Amino acid sequence: MDYLNEEIVLARKKADEQAILIAKEYAKDPYLKYFRVPRFTMPSVKLNIPIKISELNSQTKYNFKMDDDAFISEVNDKIAIINKEKSLKINPINKETLKADDFKKVVTKLEKVDYSYVKKLDDNLTKVDIKVPIKNIVKKQGFSVANKELESEEMATILKDAFKNRYTPVSAKLDDIYFDPNTSNETDKGKILLTLNVEMVEEGIRIHNATDEKGNKIEEIIFE
């Protein structure tokens, strides 16, 4: 906006300077001096500026709510997919799996934590240690001898993701929006584009030089 304002003001300055030069030529001409010097003004300037959002700086507040059935369903669906994709034999979980004391304790902690605004959801997972219950569930699963290490890693990832998906956003705040006025690149296609509608209305100022009662020279700014 500063750039646009500067360019428009300079354009108006150039127009006024040109009008003064023409007025002097009119004054010297024996015929033109009787005519009014043409001068055009811009009472307002309307601009439609395409812009794109290059970055959003925001924070979100989440709450954790455990749903045993949804948790078990999500975990088992992912287990089935991983088993098929990687030829593994990870056993599905059931409600008995979630009855372990350390698992129930961590769920209680996650639900009672007073969560603050965070930039990313993973920041919430650092507030309560979920590694222990995940590790214990993995231990009780029982894995094939040939793929024990890989199956353990996959199971731990599935459980962590399932915990993350129990969080739901309850509020958000936007700190900063960063705009990029350059929308001509090929990579800009498909990105979020906005149109900034700007109307700049002309105002004028005039500096009047005067002398006060004490003989001091002063400058008076007059807004027109």
pLDDT tens by residue, 164-213 = 888 888 888 877 777 676 666 766 666 656 666 667 676 666 667 788 78
| Integer CA distances (angstroms), 48 to 32, 45, 98, 113, 126, in order | 40, 10, 57, 47, 45
Counting beta carbons within 10 angstroms of the beta carbon of residue 171, is it exposed (0 to 12), middle (13 to 18) or buried (19 or more)? exposed
* pLDDT tens per residue across span 75-121: 999 999 999 998 888 888 888 888 888 788 878 888 887 677 777 77
> Which residues fall within 8 angstroms of residue 95, CB to CB, at 6 or more apart?
68, 72
Residue 224, pLDDT above cutoff 60: no
**64, amino acid identity:** F
The answer to which of 39-43, 104-108, 125-129 has the lowest mean pLDDT is 125-129
> Is 90 in a helix, a strand, or coil?
coil
Q: Which amino acid is at 195?
A: T
Whole-model pTM: value is 0.53
CA 22, 28, 29, 33 dihedral sign is: positive
